[in-house]
Structure 1
């Protein structure tokens, strides 16, 4: 047994015969604790012995040089030489049949590894590591291949686009024709999974050396940094470009009614993002419980410029609850509206309509009937849910015993 496990003599150099263990051509892998087990029907007895290999000839059986090592031209490479031997002897290298000479680019490290810096095409070839001590010599060989570096010849560049456009981001390279290329794209450091982004991203590079992508129907959320990464077995390279997307402004914020009267309201707000195109105008809309949705209102100034953050709404109806919202516009279009302001009620006031066709007559001895007409719709000034479409056409007042009694109202 070796190290507590049954010893299987799979190698010819290890033989067991008549209770005798024989190992020839010792290697460091033979080090361990050996046990001899003798037994009969009455039991078993054990005898232990430790085998230490204090001297062994160089051996590459467990650590051959890599058969092929690749490096890009101009790159650095390390070829490992790790023979087993004791005591440690000397390491030398050959290129082809010639002893390798060290230089400012080529050096043999203390542990026997070979380092080549700034590799050139002439560095390619068959390299052999030779290990020796007083017990023997061994060697192992491997081929170094120097490949052309990958270079991005047509990189993506910073682009300035408008919402809705489609563009192509190029990424074309020159590379060693014997190597396979892999293109990978990232958006704001996140891997782009083509086909999983709503169909906006598509690979369009038709050539082996092209990794172009198309972005269709660009939206504001597509603005950011795009990175093209190219990888081969010997190198990797990447380049990034920014995509600026211009669009309608974002919604203004913090809409506040600063002051309100019977027919006016002073508003203030904060600007939203301009999305890379300056705000040119603001539009104010209002809504009441009896209006059909949001309606544009008249303001002072009539045209609210992009640098203003206040305006006064005029021509409002008295004693009505209003909500206000603001929309921003730029050269590209009008953006989404702001959130509505808190409801604010205009102050009450006297009616603005003069009755017409006032007349009287009729009635009994103790009554006087007076009638008049309203020529245009009355604006509701009382806290009743009147609709805007309702019109007060004729009023009838009956005077009886010096008291006025409303006799009828025709809405």
Structure 2
């Protein structure tokens, strides 16, 4: 969401205005700062994101084919303090990824590149609530999006930098020795504090990596952060006219035409199961702040996972020229998703441990990150029993 009321950093504001005038065509070439409206997007894991608009009175009758609104991204995170490079692959690789996905119509168009940033297409959009994910047709379109992304061959490193950099970075400042975390708790949560302090985070990550290899999990290019709020639902046609069709429709082609994935900053090669599990585990509304009821928080059941995997493989078999039924059968992919679901629980738990602003206000016995921690332990035990794989070495 963009906040027009937020006070902007003066130097960053000047940089944003400068690159728009310097790079964009048409009316932008003769713009001054007084001709632009700039607002900042809240959040942003790896970048600072700005919406820049030509003021209506300046644009009237003077716009040609150039856009009147653009997105400007300045690289660098103000959120992840413990990770040297949260964008994982650096400037050059990120531009390559963004360009390829733009060409394949899997993201916004690239409009310009500058040192430590880029300009991209602004897509007018609506933001439906989580209930939209209950629609069968939406999940079919999502399955196809994953199949398209996972079938790409990109000229970037195939090392799993997402897990090695981001996951291990989450604990970088909080781990003194293996299995010991620097965490402060209220006295009431002493039992939980002791339990989490003793949790061998890095050993668990190694077990996940090793087990992924043992079960033959497939490595592909992944988005790594594709959930409802990283999907844009177009509200305008490319000619600027409003889309009038109701969002109640079950028209598959309509949804395909308006759903656009964004925010590939965490994109890299990794386990395909993680991409699918991350999306599936966020299909339901999860109150990440405040108290949560462990029994009422919903996660996808086995039938939902099975249905999504079947849709995914159906699209993958049509899209991927290298599709191999031997390593892409339903049972295999379900197993990969079940294992990768553990990564997602560990990630959300680790995020809260990493961020002192979050950690300091949590009532841990009733907190969402602790729920994900408990889910991790319970599902890990189930996975080990179901598939007969070795547990974590003590």
Relative to the length of structure 2, the TM-score reads 0.18
Higher RCO structure (Cα 8 Å, ≥6 apart): 2
Which of the two has higher C-alpha Rg? Answer: 1
Relative to the length of structure 1, the TM-score reads 0.17
Which one has the bigger helix percentage? 2
